[in-house]
Amino acid sequence: MRSSLRRSLALCTILFTAALAAPPSPASSRETVAMSVGRLLEEGHYTRQKLNEEVSKKFLQMYLEMLDFSHLFFTQEDVDAVTSKYGNAMAGDVLMGTLKPAYEIYALYAKRVDERVAKIKELLKQPIDFKSNATVELSRQKSPWPKDEAEADQLWRGRITNELLQEHLSEHPIEPAPQLVSRRYDRLARNVHEQDKDEQMKLYLDALAQAYDPHSEYLSKADMKNFSINMGLSLVGIGALLRSEDGYAKIDSLVPGGPAQLDGRLKVGDRITAVAQGQADYVDVREMRLDKVVEMIRGKKGTRVRLLVIPSDATDPSRRKNVELVRDEIKLKDQEARADIIIRKDENGEPVKLGWLTLPSFYADMDKHQKSTTRDVLALLKRLKKENIAGLVVDLRKNGGGSLEEALSLTGLFLKTGPIVQTKDYNGTLRISSDPDSGIAYSGPMVVLTSRQSASASEIFAAALQDYGRAVIVGDKNTFGKGTVQTILPIGRFASLLGSHSDEDGALKLTIQKFYRVAGGSTQLHGVASDIVLPSLSDLPEFGEGALKNALPYDEVTKAKYTKWSDSHSLFIDQLRRRSEERVKGDPEFHYVMEDMDRLRHKIDENRISLNEDFRKKETADDKLRKETRSKERLARNQEEPRIYRVTLDTVDKPNLQLIMYPGKLAEAKKNGVVPKVDSAAASDADSDLIDGGNADGGDSKEPLIDPERDEGLNILADLVQLSSGPKTASTNH
> Please, what is the end-to-end C-alpha distance for the chain in angstroms?
23
Q: Which of 142-146, 247-251, 290-294, 664-668 has the lowest average pLDDT?
A: 664-668
Collapse the DSSP code of 406 into the 3-class scheme (helix H, G, I; strand E, B; otherwise coil) and give the result: helix
Altogether, the residues listed in the chain come to a count of 734
Q: How does pLDDT run across 29-80, given as a tens digit for each residue?
A: 899 999 999 999 999 999 999 999 999 999 999 999 999 999 999 999 999 9
Considering the chain, what percentage of its residues have pLDDT values greater than 90? 63
Considering the chain, what percentage of its residues have pLDDT values greater than 70? 85
Strands (E), 377-450: 392-395, 419-424, 430-434, 446-450
pLDDT of residue 700: 38
Q: How does pLDDT run across 463-478, given as a tens digit for each residue?
A: 999 999 999 999 999 9
pLDDT of residue 12: 39
Higher pLDDT: 570 or 708? It is: 708
CB 391 within 8 A of CB 355: yes
Rounded distance between C-alpha atoms, residue 395 and residue 399, angstroms: 8
* Closest CA relative to residue 315, chosen from 547, 592, 535, 609: 609
Long-range contacts of 175-181 (CB under 8 A, 24+ apart): 175/284, 178/124, 180/284, 181/120, 181/124
pLDDT-based confidence at 608, cuts 50/70/90?
A: very high
198's CB contacts (< 8 A; 6+ apart) are: 30, 220
pLDDT-based confidence at 500, cuts 50/70/90?
A: low
* Closest CA relative to residue 515, chosen from 565, 468, 463, 561: 463
| DSSP 8-state assignment for residue 148 | S
Type and span of the H or E element at 384: helix 373-386
CB 389 within 8 A of CB 444: yes
pLDDT of residue 702: 54
pLDDT of residue 19: 36
* Closest CA relative to residue 158, chosen from 614, 618, 612, 606: 612
Strands (E), 311-388: 321-326, 328-329, 338-345, 351-358
* Average pLDDT over every residue of 448-462: 96
CB 233 within 8 A of CB 366: yes
User: Is the pLDDT reported for residue 720 higher than 70?
Assistant: yes
603's CB contacts (< 8 A; 6+ apart) are: 138, 315
Cα–Cα distances in angstroms (integers) from residue 141 to residues 75, 246, 305, 611, in the given order: 14, 9, 31, 20
Q: Which of 336-340, 358-362, 532-536, 632-636 has the lowest average pLDDT?
A: 632-636
CB 400 within 8 A of CB 253: yes
Q: Dihedral, CA atoms, 54, 55, 56, 58, nearest 10 degrees?
A: 90
Collapse the DSSP code of 273 into the 3-class scheme (helix H, G, I; strand E, B; otherwise coil) and give the result: strand
Mean pLDDT of the chain: 86
Rounded distance between C-alpha atoms, residue 79 and residue 64, angstroms: 8
268's CB contacts (< 8 A; 6+ apart) are: 251, 252, 253, 254, 312, 453, 538, 543
Rounded distance between C-alpha atoms, residue 382 and residue 395, angstroms: 18
Question: In the chain, what are the domains?
Answer: 50-211 (no CATH), 235-329 (2.30.42.10)
User: Is the pLDDT reported for residue 734 higher than 60?
Assistant: no
User: Is the pLDDT reported for residue 730 higher than 70?
Assistant: no
Q: How does pLDDT run across 90-132, given as a tens digit for each residue?
A: 999 999 999 999 999 999 999 999 999 999 999 999 999 999 9
- Provide the CA 224 distance to its chain's centre, in angstroms: 20
* Closest CA relative to residue 421, chosen from 313, 520, 296: 520
* Average pLDDT over every residue of 156-184: 91
Query: Based on the number of CB atoms within 10 Å of its own CB, is 236 exposed (0-12), middle (13-18) or buried (19 or more)?
Result: middle
Q: How does pLDDT run across 341-391, given as a tens digit for each residue?
A: 999 988 788 899 999 999 999 988 655 456 899 999 999 999 999 999 999
Beta-strand pair 507-516/484-490: antiparallel
Rounded distance between C-alpha atoms, residue 476 and residue 396, angstroms: 11
The torsion angles phi and psi of 31, rounded to 5 degrees, stand at -65, -40
pLDDT of residue 231: 37
* Average pLDDT over every residue of 394-422: 94
- How many CB atoms are closer than 10 A to CB 3? 8
* Average pLDDT over every residue of 704-719: 92
* Average pLDDT over every residue of 508-517: 96
| DSSP 8-state assignment for residue 546 | G
pLDDT-based confidence at 459, cuts 50/70/90?
A: very high
Higher pLDDT: 378 or 320? It is: 378
* Closest CA relative to residue 478, chosen from 426, 530, 412: 530
* Average pLDDT over every residue of 324-337: 79
Rounded distance between C-alpha atoms, residue 656 and residue 653, angstroms: 9
pLDDT of residue 569: 55
User: Is the pLDDT reported for residue 20 higher than 60?
Assistant: no
The torsion angles phi and psi of 374, rounded to 5 degrees, stand at -60, -45
- How many CB atoms are closer than 10 A to CB 361? 23
Catalytic residues: 456, 467, 482
674's CB contacts (< 8 A; 6+ apart) are: 692, 696, 697, 698
Collapse the DSSP code of 697 into the 3-class scheme (helix H, G, I; strand E, B; otherwise coil) and give the result: coil
Rounded distance between C-alpha atoms, residue 380 and residue 355, angstroms: 10
Biggest CA-to-CA distance, the chain: 83
User: Is the pLDDT reported for residue 1 higher than 60?
Assistant: no
Rounded distance between C-alpha atoms, residue 105 and residue 112, angstroms: 11
User: Is the pLDDT reported for residue 276 higher than 50?
Assistant: yes
pLDDT of residue 502: 58
Q: Quote the Cα angle for 211-216-222, to 5°.
A: 115
Higher pLDDT: 349 or 325? It is: 325
Q: Of the ranges 245-259, 334-348, 545-559, which is most confident?
A: 545-559
Rounded distance between C-alpha atoms, residue 438 and residue 216, angstroms: 36
Q: How does pLDDT run across 626-673, given as a tens digit for each residue?
A: 999 998 998 888 777 889 999 999 999 999 999 988 777 766 766 676
pLDDT of residue 228: 45
| DSSP 8-state assignment for residue 340 | E
- What residues pair up with 340 in beta bridges, in sequence order? 356, 646
CB 617 within 8 A of CB 169: yes
Long-range contacts of 363-371 (CB under 8 A, 24+ apart): 363/335, 363/336, 363/402, 363/403, 363/406, 364/402, 364/403, 364/405, 364/406, 366/233, 366/332, 366/335, 367/233, 367/332, 371/332, 371/336
Rounded distance between C-alpha atoms, residue 342 and residue 53, angstroms: 60
pLDDT of residue 721: 95
User: Is the pLDDT reported for residue 536 higher than 90?
Assistant: yes
pLDDT of residue 698: 34
CB 656 within 8 A of CB 648: no
CB 194 within 8 A of CB 118: no
